[in-house]
Amino acid sequence: MKIANRQRTKDILQKHNIKLKKSLGQNFLTDNNILDKIVAEANLSSEDSVIEVGPGIGALTERMSEAAKEVVAVELDNRLIPVLNEIFEEQDNVSIIHGDALEVDFDSLIDGDYKVVANLPYYITTPIIMRFLEESSGAKEIVVMVQKEVGERMVASPGGKDYGILSIAVQYYTEAEIAFGVPSSVFIPRPKVDSAIVSLKVLDYPRAKVEDEDFFFKVVKSAFHQRRKTVRNSLSKAPFLSVPRDIIDQALEEVEIDPRRRAEKISVEKFIELSNAIYRIY
Ligand code: SAM
């Protein structure tokens, strides 16, 4: 059975009397070609365990269950749980979990390492990805559908308008790239935004040693608090840090960052050096 075509998707939804909810980011994939490309991008093999967030009616789940060892799919919408249970009744390697991706303990769902592959609900893309990066230790590779603009911010290099806190947070933990764009015509209903698949390969160790991660992210947030200001001004005025200006000056000098630079021109590595220097002096 192939779930991912327009007529079957409509039939399944109609049979169960389900109207899709915008508030849950429900845009279902109806194109097998795109599913094949996602599975190829994630390089799924019979060795792989996969966590999927938001299986919907299981189009991607079905395709992944043919390629991977096991798929554990976490769905919030209780109306979809009986549908999924029925579709995957005889599929031993698929587990459907009724839960909230913002609360589930992902590592407890699978023994050992896993890949995360999903067509994410766009209203919570960033918190879901950050939960995998910050709170789980099993996620080794994340291949997910996101809003194209969000994907561009994740992979952005210093210097452009897309580069910011999200780029630094994602690139601190992963090697990030946009795999391919996805047209809105392959979804039911069509989203109003463009989409893309991003591939995040989790680094064994973050890019460089950070003395204190909380402090590092406070420095980054402060630096971008008013992105048009110089890094010196942002850091000394932002509400998340209360470090005296002379210490900021000293740290900037130590790591050779021009105090008149703007945060958007400073690389992840340089931010790490800067936060370590402020942390040590302070
Ligand atoms: N995977 C399906 C597909 O590609 O056709 C559906 C993807 S749809 C973009 C997002 C799915 O995430 C929906 O099924 C929605 O109900 C589910 N969802 C929304 N919020 C969620 C949450 N907090 N935790 C788990 N699933 C959620």
Mean pLDDT of 159-180: 96
- In this prediction, residue 239 has a pLDDT band, given cuts at 50, 70 and 90, of confident
Contacts of 135 (CB under 8 A, 6+ apart): 106
pLDDT at 208 exceeding the cut of 90: no
pLDDT at 238: 85
- In this prediction, residue 44 has a pLDDT band, given cuts at 50, 70 and 90, of very high
For domain 6-202, the CATH architecture is: 3-Layer(aba) Sandwich (3.40)
Output DSSP code: residue 240: T
Q: Dihedral (C-alpha) 110, 112, 113, 114: value to the nearest 10 degrees?
A: -20
| Nearest Cα residue to atom 18 of ligand 1 | 54
Task: Give the residue, out of 6, 13, 18, 24, with the most ligand 1 atoms within 8 A of its beta carbon, to mutate for a pocket test.
Answer: 24
Nearest to 168 by CA among 150, 178, 155: 155
- In this prediction, residue 244 has a pLDDT band, given cuts at 50, 70 and 90, of very high
| Nearest Cα residue to atom 1 of ligand 1 | 55
pLDDT at 192: 94
- In this prediction, residue 129 has a pLDDT band, given cuts at 50, 70 and 90, of very high
Ligand 1 centroid to 282 CA: how many Å? 44
Residue corresponding to tokens 């989203």: 191
Nearest to 48 by CA among 113, 104, 108: 113
pLDDT at 187: 97
pLDDT at 240: 86
pLDDT at 265: 96
128 CA: nearest ligand 1 atom: 23
> How high does pLDDT run on average in the chain?
96
21 CA: nearest ligand 1 atom: 16
- In this prediction, residue 186 has a pLDDT band, given cuts at 50, 70 and 90, of very high
Q: Is 156 helix (H, G, I), strand (E, B) or coil?
A: coil
pLDDT at 1: 65
Residue pair 159/264 in contact (Cβ under 8 Å)? The answer is yes
Ligand 1 centroid to 28 CA: how many Å? 8
pLDDT tens, residue by residue, 82-125 = 999 999 999 999 999 999 999 999 999 999 999 999 999 999 99
CB count in 10 Å sphere of residue 212: 12
Q: What predicted TM-score, i.e. pTM, was given to this entire model?
A: 0.95
Mean pLDDT of 142-161: 97
Mean pLDDT of 245-265: 96
**pLDDT-wise least confident of 33-47, 138-152, 214-228:** 214-228
| Nearest Cα residue to atom 14 of ligand 1 | 56
Domain residue spans of the chain: 6-202, 213-281
Read off the amino acid at residue 97.
I
pLDDT at 155: 98
Nearest to 156 by CA among 52, 265, 38: 265
Q: Do domains 6-202 and 213-281 have the same CATH topology?
A: no
Mean pLDDT of 138-149: 98
Report domain 213-281's class: mainly alpha
Q: Is 173 helix (H, G, I), strand (E, B) or coil?
A: helix
Strands 114-119 and 94-98, sheet pairing: unpaired
Residue corresponding to tokens 């007529």: 7
pLDDT tens, residue by residue, 5-37 = 899 999 999 999 999 999 999 999 999 999 999
- The tokens describing 149, both together, are 């603009």
Question: Which residue ranges have their beta carbon within 6 Å of ligand 1?
Answer: 24-29, 53-56, 59-60, 74-77, 100-102, 119, 121, 124
Q: What are phi and psi of 228, to 5 degrees?
A: -85, -10
